Amino acid sequence: MSAPAAERESLGVFSPRRARLTARTLRTDRWWLSPLLTVVGLAAFVVYATVRSFVRSAYYVADYHYLTPFYSPCLSESCVPGSSHFGTPFPELPMWIPLAFLSLPFLLGFRLTCYYYRKAYYRSVWLSPPACAVAEPHTKYTGETRLPLIIQNSHRYFFYVAVIISVINTYDAIVAFHGKGGGFGFGLGNVILVVNVLLLWIYTVSCHSCRHVTGGRLKHFSKHPVRYWIWTRVSRLNTRHMQFAWITLGTLMLTDFYIMLVASDTISDLRFVG
Ligand code: FES
């Protein structure tokens, strides 16, 4: 809710200590381009992922055991035969519940509370502020100290679940080395699944919470050489966390799209073995 006009005069960029400018910004470059591209990219992923998660078609290739990450783990009797790598402990689900209902909320929570994505959508969606030296429309700043933004502090817990889901995705990628007539097989779908899962791991371990888990709260690195070694590796990846955040959005969509094309018989998988 915006503050009353009189109060607004003394808040945020209108406070007495700030320079009195009538223009919202004096920047003359295209400062709006980056937030615009960000919001378009995020919206494209959200629309694609939402549609694909609910359609319940072309998500599993029975011949090669390819399962798209958007349906993993598939744990209900609504899943097509073979796609439930961990059994079907849940009964048939109504159409409004995605088949990966157990993992999707956590993956969503992991991405939403990610430090990089926060920066991205705070700037692009809430314009808070949209760019350096561009006044934001809000007059009050409460940070992440109250609902709903206080939930951002739960990121570390989403990180632990994301690790478990990455293990599940790894298992899915391994069981996909399956030939048409049984036994070992290997095709382009395997390359895509393995690259996707490797990048998901890199995104996950480059997380700021992972940095803290591996090297946080230590008084003396010299007394914990193994944790220190891991922390330095994680820190190196962490510098590219933003890139991995975007790359994995792309590889997730690409992996799902390829499996959708093969599962719907639109194209055939390029097979190297089996
Ligand atoms: Fe981005 Fe943890 S900070 S996933």
Whether 62 is in a domain gets the answer yes
Give the domain extent around 244: 12-273
Say what the pLDDT of residue 140 is.
76
Is the CB–ligand 1 distance for residue 208 below 6 Å? Answer: yes
Domain membership of residue 3 (yes or no) is no
Q: Which of 42, 114, 157, 246 to mutate to test the pocket of ligand 1 (most atoms within 8 A of CB)?
A: 114
H or E segment and range at residue 241: helix 241-263
Q: What distance in Å separates the CA atoms of residue 223 and residue 204, rounded to the nearest whole number?
A: 26
Place of tokens 């998500």: 59
pLDDT at residue number 8: 58
Write the CB contacts of 135 (distance below 8 Å, at least 6 apart in sequence).
12, 13, 21, 24, 25, 129
* pLDDT at res. 9: 60
pTM: 0.90
ipTM: 0.99
Please identify, by atom number, the ligand 1 atom nearest to the C-alpha of residue 159: 2
Closest Cα to atom 1 of ligand 1: 114
Map residue 207 onto helix, strand or coil: coil
pLDDT of the residue at 1: 43
pLDDT at 2: 47
Q: How many domains does the chain have?
A: 1
Which atom of ligand 1 sits closest to the CA of residue 162? Answer: 4
Residue 2 lies in a domain: no
Q: Is residue 5 part of a domain?
A: no
Tokens representing residue 44 in the block: 């494209």
Asked, for residue 133, whether it belongs to a domain, the answer is yes
Nearest to 210 by CA among 244, 183, 186: 244
- What single-letter DSSP state applies at residue 221? G
With a cut of 50, which residues of the chain have pLDDT below it? 1-2
The HSE-up count of residue 238 (CA atoms within 13 Å, CB side) is 16
Give a yes or no: residue 266 inside a domain.
Answer: yes
pLDDT at 225: 96
**Over the stretch 194-219, which tens digit does the pLDDT of each residue have?**
999 999 999 999 999 999 999 998 99
Give residue 121 CA to ligand 1 midpoint distance, Å: 14
What is the reported pLDDT for 248? 98
Instruction: Provide the token pair at 34.
Output: 């980056």
Specify the residue for token string 């996950």: 204
149 lies in some domain: yes
> Residue 220 domain-assigned?
yes
CA of 204 to the centre of ligand 1 (A): 7
Return the amino acid letter for 220: H
